[in-house]
Structure 1
Amino acid sequence: MVQGTHLRARRMSATRPLDVAIIGAGFAGIGTAIRLRQKGITDFVIFERGTEVGGTWRDNTYPGAACDIPSRLYSYSFAPNPDWSHTYSGSQEILDYIESMVGEFGLRGRIRFGHNVSGLVFDQADGLWDIALEGRETVRARTVVLASGPLSNAGFPRIPGIEDYQGHKIHSARWDHDYDFTGKRVAVVGTGASAVQIVPELVRQAAAVKVFQRTPGWVLPRLNRPTSPRTMQIYRQLPITQSIARQGWFWGHESVALGVVWNTPLTRVVESVAKLHLRTQVRDPWLRRQLTPGFRAGCKRLLMTSDYYPALQRDNCTLVTWPIARLSEHGIRTAEGIEHRFDCIVFATGFDVSKTGSPIPVTGRDGRVLADEWNKGAYAYKSVAVAGYPNMFLTFGPNSGPGHNSALVYMEAQIDYLTDAIGMILHQNLRTLEVRRDKQDRYNERLQQRLTATTWNSGCRSWYLTEDGFNATMFPGFGTQYVRQLAAVDTDDYLLTPADTESVIGTGDHAVAPFG
């Protein structure tokens, strides 16, 4: 299929290629488009498989959906929003913010909705990317930005008997708003970040809710205060005040790294706050024991909620800690042999994060396949570039997860870096810009060594790790360190091929030979 796509693209070679193709119209794709435009690069198109912008926040519309990072920090510094209604905003308000950026920066005409990218192939002869689109003609581009994100593909978990269940199934990322929970018996599978937001909403509607917990998490209180009209007015009239507030939130979260990224005395402080929160909200000692984690804070994602524990203690809610053996025709069978019957099962089981493989088929230089190279764990250079895949850049790529701070701080640094690299390709008329293999290898060797000292690699199982325990997800340091490493594009890290020659400028094992 890839070969056929490649040949079709060659037949279209007379069509002038795009300067930049952006895949995905979520936070990353929209942010990339804004920064490209601000830097004078305007020949770009965003390919979006859906019918609207928003990515994760378009898809996650379950009851109670919200961000657990303060809104002032979960937004771009180059597109501030003075009108956040609360400290932590709900999904609809975040989606409104993304849509407002599209309007403010005139991006609507640059987005191709209903364009599902099914594969990428690098054409070495022309130095271009062939972009296969499902049911459409192939498009060519000088550079590609994979901005589809790690939380874009949701699916039901692999539980035996899941196809046997005859009741209603709902995934948290594909919510069924037409289903009426009134009077229903409902199961919630999962107790992660989505589940702790869903459960309080469901117990208000359903006749009975059973929450199936595999592992309890560390839960911290979430104090969500409304923003006063006076504060909004100040932010609008004096934008510097909002920037100062954003910096305050950033440094507050940055300090949390000392307690959750590494196992330090501050980790005990975080755990003490979580235990006090648990003791304050849960009276029953046995339930408290069931809800107390057996791993260090930070090893799994911290949960931010003040509503989850009270919801579990409602008369119509039950916590089930027996492992799920299988699904049956009428419900869930647990390991001790009991069948729990339900009208509906809600799966709050997260996303298929690309820790191995790639979200779409990608074929690079010399016919290499990204999914094959990542089959034991994804890796990249500073999360944004991969050797062997010239002129292709990632947002929120491997090892760019913060764990303690806003993902958008990290993403903004990536966007500034990759748009500078794209600017270098276009303005210097480079045929290819490719990260050096030796630089990439040394970077990842040091990174994996640093990860061994973090809480994420301390023994618990989480979605951060592959089945073999390889951490392809998190960055082992402060946000300031991550941002600093992306402050500038160092050409010594890359192989540069001018457009009018096949000779390579640079050093390294394969730098002396031309591409082609």
Structure 2
Amino acid sequence: MSVGNRGAEPSIAVVGSGFSGIGLAIGLREAGFTAFTVFEKAEGVGGVWRDNTYPGAACDAPSHLYSYSFEPKPDWSRRFAEQPEILDYLRHCAVKYGILPHIRFGTEVVQAEYLPGSGRWSLHTADGERHEFDMLVAACGQLSNPAVPSLPGRDAFTGTAFHSARWDHDHDLRGERIAVVGNGASAVQFVPLIARDAAELTIFQIETHWISRKPDRVYPRWRHALNRRVPLAQKLSRLGVFLWFELLLNPALIAPRGRALLSAHIRAMCRFALRSVRDRGLRDRLRPRYEPGCKRILTSSEYYATLNRPNVRVVDSPITEMTPDGLRTADGEHHPVDTVIWATGFRSQDFVAPMRVVGLHGQELNAAWKDGARAYLGMAVTGFPNFFLMYGPNTNVGSGSIVHMLESQAAYIVQAARLLADGVKSLEVRADVLDEFDAAAQRRLSTSVWNRGGCDSWYLDGDRRNTNNWPGSMTGYRRRTRRLDPSDYRLERRHRSPSPT
């Protein structure tokens, strides 16, 4: 489909080249747009799958669903693809769909400022350059900025320390005393691999998690051949996984009804996995006291077994300070270590960090979000015309594939670009539309397991407002974003006065 009848084609800036940025770039190009630029601070595409290269890094959503619907990969090596294969897939998509010429690698956008007179965005890069665009899209993702706790004495530590998302592959861990701070999604993947060669490995457990066995398997060659010769086979596999999330798991996370049965099923699976820990006392310390699904349910078939190793131990007492040669915990014990690996997740509320975004009347986006991040359909914010987010507030899925959500957002943003191509100077979501959407979303989230399950998680901000999760199904989000309704926006046409709101 072409852009259609228009005057000047709008120029579009996309910040980030992960699944969000590449997917949008493909959507724009397929729609006939050519005046778009993807700004990428690194030297390659891939986003979180480029940055997270820790041992064992893999996706916990099945490969056939965790990929673009328009670009199936018939030869996924296994049911849950590992980081190198997912990164290769993204590189393949960028090459196949002609996106690479549109990407400016090694260019970090540090500030973006809206210019009301022209209806354009002024972008400032770290190297001192300035660029103007008609539309700005932040495709930075929710899991791009590592979180490292500010502990007393951190600068005094004389050993090696790095975050799991910035893995130091030049540092040899063999024979070392290693501290892993955190026990979440990344830790359960890399701990079993590094424990084999460590002299001592101490896991500082921040919170307990529900962990089930990972139903992973290698796909045989005949499956690859079948997928190529009979594409419907792969589509049916994708559909089956999609329906499992949509019809069974997702409703139980969001709606109170029916949650008890699924909760019992998940508890049984996770407790079965936990039985592989031989120490009864440790089993009790690992068992969560909150409802399954309140936090992300983790999957690993090796983590619990690793805790049986004589060189591995789990510490529950909180870390109070770092010393030159170790960590001290609240119980007064000092733990000598050579290397600290921060498995402490990401600053999930920083949807555009470290970019500074300034909209109408000099208002910064962070100031607009002082009471919690919110955006209409997770994409549009009042006071910030011609600006859209991908994987923004309340678009994370507690079960399913974020790629499905990103495809929905890309299609919606392409419609916004068409409005600019048809003579619209600026479009700004109406305040009442955003307020109504946000209130409805928070009402529905208030009864979800994420808000009522008895835990603290990265889904909630400091005021326990759920700023991350979508309060519905993937299908429901696709339906809500299928058509951009111009009446939801305050439109200003070129050489015309603003439309009534």
Fold shared by both chains (TM-score > 0.5) = yes
Query: 1:76 pairs with 65, 68, 72, which one?
Result: 68
CA distance in 1, matches of 2:365, 2:294: 29
Matched, 1:225 2:222: no
Paired position in structure 1 for 2:494: 499
SS of aligned partner of 2:407: helix
Alignment of 1:399-414 (within 5 A): 399-414=394-409
1:63–1:437 CA distance, 2 compared to 1 (3 A): same
1:134 paired with 2:126, answer: yes
Q: Deviations over 1:6-60 (max 9, x none)?
A: xxxxxxxxxx996111101111101100011111111111000111111111100
2:252 maps to amino acid: G
Matched, 1:454 2:455: no
- 1:386 positional shift: 0.7
What is the SS of the residue equivalent to 2:266? helix
Q: Hey, what does 2:5 align to over in structure 1?
A: none
Aligned residues: 489
The residue correspondences of 1:19-38 to structure 2 (distance < 5 A) are 19-38=11-30
SS at match of 1:191: coil
Cα pair 1:259 1:270 within 8 Å, conserved: no
Q: CA deviation at 1:155?
A: 4.0
Residue 257 of structure 1 corresponds to 250
Cα 1:402–1:363, aligned 2, differ >3 Å: closer, same or farther?
Answer: same
Query: SS in structure 2 opposite 1:106?
Result: coil
Q: Decide whether aligned partners of structure 1 residues 92 and 384 sit closer, same or farther in structure 2, where only a CA change above 3 A counts.
A: same
Q: Which residue of 1 aligns with 2:265?
A: 269
* 2:3 aligned residue: none
CA contact (8 A) 1:356 1:466 kept: no
The Cα offsets for residues 196-215 of structure 1, whole Å up to 9 and x where unpaired, read as 01110111121110101021
Letter in 2 for 1:257: N
> Could you tell me whether the CA contact under 8 Å between 1:261 and 1:403 is conserved in 2?
no
- SS of alignment partner, residue 129 of structure 1: strand
Q: What is the CA deviation profile of residues 346-397 of structure 1, one whole-angstrom value per residue up to 9, with x for unaligned ones?
A: 1101112225885421111222211101122100000011111111111000
- Tell me the distance in 1 between the aligned counterparts of 2:43 and 2:426: 33
Return closer, same or farther for 1:277/1:466 CA change in 2, 3 Å cut-off: same
Q: Sort the Cα spacing of 1:259 and 1:286 in 2 relative to 1 into closer, same or farther, 3 A.
A: farther
Inter-partner Cα distance in structure 2 for 1:27 and 1:136: 27
**Cα shift at 1:223:** 1.6
- Residue 163 of structure 1 aligns to a residue whose secondary structure is helix
1:300 corresponds to 2:295 = yes
Q: Give the secondary-structure state (helix, strand or coil) at the position aligned to 1:173.
A: helix
Contact 1:357-1:377 within 8 A present in 2 as well? no
Deviation of 1:282 (Å)? 1.9
Contact 1:390 1:434 survives alignment (8 Å): yes
Cα displacement string for residues 471-503 of structure 1 (whole angstroms, at most 9, x for unaligned residues) = 1111122222222111111112111111122x1
Q: Which has the higher contact order (CA 8 A, sep 6+)?
A: 2
Q: TM-score, normalised by structure 1?
A: 0.92
Structure 1 counterpart SS, 2:388: strand
Query: 1:29–1:147: 8 Å Cα contact kept in structure 2?
Result: yes
Is there any run of 5+ residues in structure 2 with no aligned partner, and where?
1-7
Q: 1:506 to 1:242 in 2, by over 3 A?
A: farther
Write out per-residue CA displacement over residues 195-246 of structure 1, whole angstroms, 9 at most, x where no aligned residue: 1011101111211101010211001110211112122122223333322221
TM-score (normalised: structure 2): 0.95
Q: Do the aligned residues in 1 keep the contact of 2:202 with 2:312 (CA within 8 Å)?
A: yes
Aligned-pair identity (%): 40
Q: Does 1:97 align with 2:81?
A: no
SS of 1:45's equivalent?
strand
Aligned equivalents of 1:182, 1:214: Cα separation in 2:
25
Q: CA deviation at 1:260?
A: 3.2
Distance across 2 between alignment mates of 1:477 and 1:275: 28
Corresponding residue for residue 236 of structure 2: 244
Q: Are the equivalent residues in 2 in contact too, given 1:18–1:140 (CA < 8 A)? A: no
Alignment of 1:347-386 (within 5 A): 347-354=342-349, 359-386=354-381
Q: What amino acid sits opposite 1:110 in the alignment?
A: H
Counterpart contact for 2:138–2:352, Cα < 8 Å:
no
1:115, CA displacement in angstroms?
0.8
Aligned counterparts of 2:500 and 2:354: Cα–Cα separation in 1: 31
State which drifts further: 225-234 or 393-402.
Answer: 225-234
Say whether residues 1:436 and 2:430 are aligned partners.
yes
* 1:506 CA displacement: 4.0
The answer for the alignment partner of 1:278 in structure 2 is 274
Displacement after TM superposition at 1:177 (Å):
0.4
Distance (whole Å) between structure 1 residues aligned to residue 239 and residue 35 of structure 2: 33
3-state SS of paired residue (1:485): helix
2:134–2:386 contact (8 Å) kept in structure 1: yes
Q: Distance in 1 between matches of 2:367 and 2:90?
A: 34
